[in-house]
Structure 1
Amino acid sequence: MMKGKALRLAIFAGLLGSTVSVLSAQAMTETESVTVLNPVVVTAQRFETKDLETPASVTVIDQADLKNSGAKSIFDAVGQATGITTFSYGPLGLEFGGMESRTNIRGLDRSSLVLVNGAPINLDGKNSLNGLMMDNVERIEIVRGAASAQYGSEALGGVVNVITKTPTKAHGTVETRIGNEGYKKYAATVGTEKIEISTSKEYYGAQARTSPNRTGRDYYNTRDKGYAHNIAVNVKPHDYVTINYMRQQSDSTYGQISTIPKAKWTAKKSALTETKQWHYRDIKNNGSIVYDDATTKASVFFNTRRLIGESNSLATPVYVQSPYNYGAYKVGTEAQHTWKLHNDTAKAVLGVQGVHEAYQGISETNKTVTAARNTVAIYGNYEFQITPSFSTTIGGRYQAINDPINNQNVFTPQWQTLYKIDESKSIYTNVGKAFTMPNIHDAFKWVTDLKDKNVANYIKIPGGNLKPEEGWNYEIGYKQANKRDSWKVSVYYMRFKNFFDWAENPLDGNRKTIRINGGEFRNTGIEAEYKSYVTSDLIMTVGASYSNPKKQDVNKKDWVQTAPKLELNLALDYEKDKWQAGLAASYWGIRAYNRDKQRNPDYINVNAHVNYSPNESQTIGFYVNNVLNRQNVISQGDWEYWDLPRNYYVNYSYHF
């Protein structure tokens, strides 16, 4: 066992070490790379700052990074960032109906807030990135650490802000991809100085069971063919106004296939087993209208989801309606103003936000589930210089929440400091409180009618006493950005209480369907990232994270690991003349335990690609994902879901 782990680590280290040793011997140039190594950040402080002047742990993924990652989706690209681990029920972040894939920052499951152009798109506690169109993204900003003082609920671990493109000039692109595993994509983008429209349709082939046989487990998940159709529209009617809209409609089918001979799909109907098949149609929309003149920013935004599913089995081969179908939406408005004070030695931000969020069951079984939440917030921060080299920021947010379970009034403070050692180096501290509200539909319990044991339904919790998850993040970090390389190191400690868990429901066969507050979550860790122009043609990024994420069980006695303790990332981007190539490798080690009380196997994923542009109008590319053909578990914890084996596609794009 130890030899196997050593071999896997050696493979990863070899990819890093051999590449660096060979390429570092080449001569470096004085390439100016300020925008790459010290990018502008808007998410962390709610106004533009350089990374070196931002007292928080930040990663910016720009268009070049997205291309070089070899990722097919935003979900995959974000999962390659240091300190981020993803939880997926299907390859590329594909979801299993209402079982959403999610992005975890610093070991916190379901505790990352996803924004699009600064507007929250989390729905009913879910932070899915699925449905966002990769072709429409300008850059992605990831802020690690408690961020509720700036953005409210659900930002315990941090924030992922997806910033879409803005129309700039007349242009057009058509693109096609064809690969194995039934993968195809067709996409087109056309734009002017005022409007840009992008659309794509992706097809996914059927995926057979890739997991090995497990002791005591007689069924495994499979996936049938599916597709996702995306459209994105960006409009710029005025220098200060942008209008953005994205929509995705996906169609997917999942199954469970048994390893018991008599329970195959071809078995007779009398062979009653747990073999099932689910079909889902998932429709997501999000949009915003934003006014931004650099000092005043105002927006109205919305996002919606409608999930319609059905299932069958050998016992009931005809599809029947899923009891979990639902529709959800969020609408809101926000306005903030930034003041520059005392000869630009101080800045102040003051803002207000109002949000309405609703959930509605749309199947016969859950149609009584109707819940809504209203939130009004006022927030602000004040940054001032104590000395020319030392500054501090004090911020906070007050939220009044009208909730179907329990109304809340929550104040979350934040205190940050930044010391500039010189023009290329800084040290920061970041202390903040954060919280997460229960999911809206947690106001309901699934129970069996006491008079008729065969009838089950949802009932509303009368006077529920669920409390928000809440706690503190403490962090200290060092940043350095030179002309050709940059360093980032952060050490943090997190402690939160009232973590949501499930308790057994005696009215529902002791299934865990009652939402309760469990124990604490704690994590102590260190993150490091190095980015370098190794040569004038090669950019290298290396990241590493070691932490100890754990939470108490329901009985508040034992501590359970929640995410991998060790994470390593490597990215290489090479461009010269008409050629461009990239490699991205990720490793997750010392992972959480699965349902067999064994650690999930080490995750090692390597993506590689090469592009050739014979002229300015055309690009031909070849992409390979999971180069090592690993059986990678892409979920965390008890239940295992598996990535695709080695897969590849050929890409052709024409620009005009």
Structure 2
Amino acid sequence: MKKIVNEKELVRKIAIGMLMPVTVILSAGTVSAAEETDDFTLDPIIVTAQRYATRDINTPAAVSVYTQEELKATGATSVIEALKYSEGIIYHAQGPMGNAQGTMTSKIIIRGVEKGTLVLIDGIPLNLHGRYNLEDIPLDDIDKIEVIRGGGSVLYGSEATGGVINIITKSKKNNSITVATGNNGVQNYNMSLQAGKFGINYSVNKTDEINNISDGYTRSTAAPTSTSYVPKRYYDFSGNDREALSWRYAFDDNLDFTHSYGTSNSTYFYRHAETANAATIGSLSSASNFDTTYNRMQLNYKKENIKATFYLNQKELNNNKTEYWATVSKKYQQLTTPTITNGTDKDRTVGLDMQNTWKVKDNTLLVGMNAQRESYESKEKADNGAWDGRDFDRNVYSLYGQYDHKLDTSSNLIFSARETWTEGAVDDKNYNKFTPQLQYMKKLEENTTFYANAGMSFMMPTFTQIYGSASRVKGNPSVKPQQGEHYEVGLKRNTDTHAWRLAVFNYAIDDSISTTYTESTDTFTTSNEDIKNTGLELSCTIDNGRGWHTNWGISYSNPQKYETDKNGASQGWHRYYGKLQLNGGINYTSEKWKAALTTNYLANRERDTDAGGSIKPMLLTGANVIYKLKADKEIFLTVDNLFDRKDITSHATSEYYTMGRTFQLGYKMSL
């Protein structure tokens, strides 16, 4: 007990020690002013929303841009953990620090659309089978991230029904070495090198055991004293090891090749709670080990207004499940002849994306095409030792275009369209969809812009949703592509010190693709359910001067879905996720110090189940302090979950929780 108390006291002192420099900075009046850098601007250049470079105030969409310095200021080491503080999005996780639990991966939910986030790396889709594993992407290799909120299927295709996240990597690596360690066995190491045309980045991340990462629940209807009683079950996290290697070679100013390779190994223990009669009745538990490997390659060509990328994106997931007996005397006692289940999922996409942009007087015309082949393999080893395997593929083609017409000196009308179709799918399960979009932008003043959008989005079902998997997922050959109508109006205004952004949106998505879990059969079934939402987003970024930068945001919406029961009977509209979101941050930079406090608050939450029910608000907090020892050396301290809260990060069959207060102390040296 004394040891536990001492550890808690140590964590408390470290957290207070970290906050003290921030408090000193906040109250000091004689701290030297920071030199302005390119890491902070009130009106950044954006390349994602229109597929060519425009300034934020001239972009008719709700956009957030995060530089690497802003991302690192959150104290995160991966993309998923950094973006959880962003405005207009909901952080959804089923593992500590965003770790995936096999195919149950963490999500970034934009404007309440759970299956509607399209993630890009340098403009190329990262999504495989509806998943994108942002926890595997280290921040040290990122230049900036652009988040476009709102349906974006016109320019980027399927899955962008909620929005688009474009992760833009560094064209040149930093010559540096970073090491960090903290509680919960957290370790982070990063090395980045650039030599002429060749650059390389290598990262290692480790996390130790964390118990009770979910709530306990039971299907048992027997009394706890009964020999047929099944105790409550929990998830324990037995650790994660992650490695990521990326390199880039620039042949010249127009042609480069990039390759990313990574592995992730984690184990989740599904255990029963110990009860008074557990030694008598026994309790079957299991450990699942997930081993993931990914490869991503891009050959990029760019000359003047022409862009072309040939790409490969591949991920393989191996799942080994071993059963145990859990008793009072020995919590994890392996069976003499344990049941071992092996499974493998392999996704691959190979494609080509090309576009050209022309300036016609004051107008801009963009035309592009995309062709890719999607493949999916699923295998599972049965009790008799035989392998049950499934193998699917299809070709996906798209033609897209955009015409930006200048109506007069202060207004533009932008028309965009995309035609997408598939070929070669099993049982002729092919789809085609035409999606248009109309945008209007008006300069009210030199630094004030009004815009209005009206467009459509769509998302195709995945192979598993259509055909099922080799394990517990039942296919639904009748599942329909989801399609949505999106409307948005917005106002952007810049002053010398403030950047104001206001957006009001409404969408209705028909046949939203949903997955339902059935306890009695332990299976997942795919169906279509409508969803809708109306909301408002208001944010402000402020240059306070003397090295200070602050930001705040308010999002209020009402995400709902139309539910049916297992027999298809209507259950009506059901609200889910949260209505009110507040986020903000304080950043300070001087010659020696950098400090940041970041927070995101989600309230009026509802469970994402047909039973519904409210959930307590979620408060995410992070802090980071950096002290520059010399021009090429610095130390840093980061703290996540400052108030040591146990917040619910996902809520379906089980509820999963945030980790307790986590800190890391690190050292970075430039080479």
Q: TM-score, normalised by structure 2?
A: 0.86
Distance between the aligned counterparts of 1:498 and 1:441, measured in 2? Answer: 17
**Pick from 532, 545, 558: which aligns with 2:555?**
545
- In the alignment, is the contact (CA less than 8 A) between 1:471 and 1:496 conserved in 2? yes
**For 1:362, what is the secondary structure of its paired residue?**
strand
Q: Quote the residue 1:4 is aligned against.
A: none
Aligned mate of 1:374, from 384, 391, 395: 395
Aligned-residue CA RMSD (Å): 2.9
The answer to whether residue 597 in structure 2 is matched with residue 580 in structure 1 is no
- Shift in Å, 1:278: 0.9
Aligned AA for 1:645? Answer: G
| CA contact 1:569–1:587 (8 Å) conserved in 2 | yes
Match of residue 140 from structure 2? 135
Equivalent residue letter for 1:278: S
Q: Give a deviation string over 1:292-343, Cα, whole Å, max 9, x none.
A: 124000001111111111112225636655464211111100110000012x
- Consecutive unaligned residues in structure 1, runs of 5 or more: 1-17, 448-455
Q: 1:274 to 1:145 in 2, by over 3 A?
A: farther
- Aligned 8 A contact 1:27 1:535 in 2: no
Q: What is the aligned counterpart of 1:145 among 141, 146, 150?
A: 150
Letter in 1 for 2:604: I
Which residue type is aligned with residue 652 of structure 1? Y
Task: Give the C-alpha shift of residue 516 in structure 1.
Answer: 2.4
**Partner of residue 224, structure 1:** 238
**Alignment match of 1:484 (pick from 477, 488, 497):** 497
Work out the CA distance in 2 between the residues paired with 1:233 and 1:30.
31
Partner residue in 2 for 1:388:
409
Q: The residue matched to 1:149 in structure 2 has which SS? A: helix
Structure 1 SS opposite 2:82: helix
Whole-Å separation in 1 of the counterparts to 2:620 and 2:371: 42
Mapping of 1:51-66 within 5 angstroms? 51-66=56-71
| Cα distance in 1 between the residues matched to 2:166 and 2:133 | 12
State the match for 2:309 in structure 1.
Answer: 299
- How far did residue 73 of structure 1 move? 1.4
The aligned counterpart of 1:209 is 212
Distance 1:568 1:548 in 2: 15
Query: Following the alignment from structure 1 to structure 2, what is the Cα–Cα distance between the partners of residues 127 and 493?
Result: 26
2:439 & 2:513 partners in 1: Cα distance? 29
Of 109, 128, 131 in structure 2, the residue corresponding to residue 126 of structure 1 is: 131
| 1:145-164 correspondence runs (5 A) | 145-164=150-169
Q: What code does the residue aligned with 1:225 have?
A: G
Deviation at 1:256, TM superposition (A): 2.0
Change (3 A) 1:538 1:460: closer
Aligned partner (choices 319, 322, 330) of residue 309 of structure 1: 319
Q: Is the aligned partner of 1:443 residue 2:466?
A: yes
User: TM-score scaled to structure 1, two decimals?
Assistant: 0.88
**Given the alignment, which residue of 42, 45, 49 partners 1:44?**
49
SS of equivalent residue, structure 1 residue 261: coil
2:448 paired residue among 425, 428, 432? 425
CA distance in 2, matches of 1:55, 1:263: 64
User: Does 2:368 correspond to 1:363?
Assistant: no
For residues 66 and 98 of structure 1, the distance between their equivalents in structure 2, rounded to whole angstroms, comes to 26
Pick the aligned partner of 1:333 from 352, 369, 375: 352
Q: CA deviation at 1:127?
A: 3.2
The Cα of 1:204 is off from its aligned counterpart by 0.3
- Report if aligned partners of 1:24, 1:535 keep a CA contact under 8 Å in 2: no
Q: C-alpha offsets along residues 148-168 of structure 1, whole Å, 9 cap, x if unaligned?
A: 110110000010010110027
Aligned residue for 1:275, secondary structure, equals strand
Pairing partner for 1:254 from 249, 253, 268: 268
**1:135 and 1:114 mapped to 2: Cα distance?**
18
AA in 2 matched with 1:484: T
1:411 aligned residue (434, 442, 455): 434
Deviations 1:183-221 (A, max 9, x none): 111221111231211111111010011556679881111
Partner Cα separation in structure 2 for residue 460 and residue 509 of structure 1: 18
Q: Which amino acid aligns with 2:351?
A: G
Q: For the residues of structure 2 that align with 1:150 and 1:398, how far apart are their CA atoms?
A: 10
Output the CA distance in 2 between the equivalents of 1:25 and 1:563: 45
CA contact (8 A) 2:577 2:607 kept: no
Q: Does the CA-based 8 Å contact 1:309-1:321 persist in structure 2?
A: no
State the alpha-carbon separation in 1 of the partners of residues 365 and 380 from structure 2: 48
- The question of whether the paired residues in 2 share the 8 Å contact of 1:31 and 1:536 is answered with no
Aligned partner of residue 436 in structure 2, secondary structure: strand
CA separation of 1:275 and 1:458: change in aligned 2, threshold 3 A: closer
Q: What residue in structure 2 maps to residue 347 of structure 1? A: 364
> Residue 350 of structure 1 aligns to a residue in which SS?
strand
Could you tell me how far apart the structure 2 residues matched to 1:500 and 1:468 are? Answer: 7
SS of the residue corresponding to residue 381 of structure 2 reads coil
Equivalent residues, number: 618
How far does residue 76 in structure 1 lie from its aligned partner after superposition?
Answer: 1.4
Tell me, in whole angstroms, the C-alpha distance in 1 between the residues paired with 2:217 and 2:651. 17
Give yes or no for the alignment of 1:609 onto 2:620.
no
Residue type matched to 1:515 in 2?
A: T
Contact 2:489–2:505 under 8 Å retained in 1? yes
| Deviates further, 276-285 or 40-49 | 276-285
CA contact (8 A) 1:55 1:418 kept: yes
Match among 458, 463, 486 for residue 473 of structure 1: 486
Query: Are 2:198 and 1:183 aligned?
Result: no
Give 1:72 deviation, angstroms: 2.4
Q: Is the 8 A contact 1:581 1:609 kept in 2?
A: yes
SS at match of 1:644: coil
Return closer, same or farther for 1:563/1:458 CA change in 2, 3 Å cut-off: closer
Residues 274 and 489 of structure 1: is their aligned pair in 2 closer, same or farther, counting only changes over 3 Å?
A: farther
8 Å CA contact retained: 1:360, 1:371: yes
CA contact (8 A) 2:68 2:139 kept: no
- Counterpart of 1:388, as a letter, is T
Q: Shift in Å at residue 66 of structure 1?
A: 1.0
Q: Counterparts in 2 of 1:518-537, with a 5 A limit?
A: 519-537=529-547
Paired with 1:504 and 1:586, the residues of 2 have a C-alpha distance of 30
Structure 2 vs 1, CA of residues 28 and 250 (structure 1 numbering), >3 Å: closer, same or farther?
A: closer
Distance in structure 2 (CA, Å) of the matches to 1:82 and 1:509: 39
The question of 1:399 aligning with 2:420 is answered yes
What is the rounded CA distance, in whole Å, between the counterparts of 1:409 and 1:604 in structure 2?
A: 42
SS of 1:516's partner is strand
Residues 502 and 636 of structure 1: CA distance in aligned 2, closer, same or farther (over 3 Å): closer
The CA distance in 2 between the partners of 1:22 and 1:390, in whole Å, is 46
1:89 to 94, 104, 111: 94
Distance 1:21 1:525, change over 3 A: farther
- Residues 322 and 523 of structure 1: is their aligned pair in 2 closer, same or farther, counting only changes over 3 Å? farther
Contact kept, 8 Å, 2:216 with 2:654, in 1: the verdict is no
Counterpart code for 1:586: N
Give the distance between the partners of 2:34 and 2:79, measured in 1 at CA. Answer: 32
CA spacing shift, 1:20–1:524, aligned 2, 3 Å: farther
Change (3 A) 1:372 1:271: farther
Preserved contact between residue 96 and residue 658 of structure 2 (Cα < 8 Å): yes
Distance of 1:277 and 1:176 partners within structure 2: 31
Q: Does 1:434 align with 2:434?
A: no
Aligned residue identity for 1:401: T
1:99-152 Cα shifts (integer Å, max 9, x gaps) = 111111000112100010111011112233132221111111111111111011
- Residue identity matched to 1:167: K
Q: CA 1:382/1:631 → structure 2, altered by over 3 Å: closer, same or farther?
A: same
Q: Runs of 5+ in structure 2 lacking a partner? A: 1-22, 220-230, 326-333
**Counterparts of 1:426 and 1:212, CA distance in 2:** 48
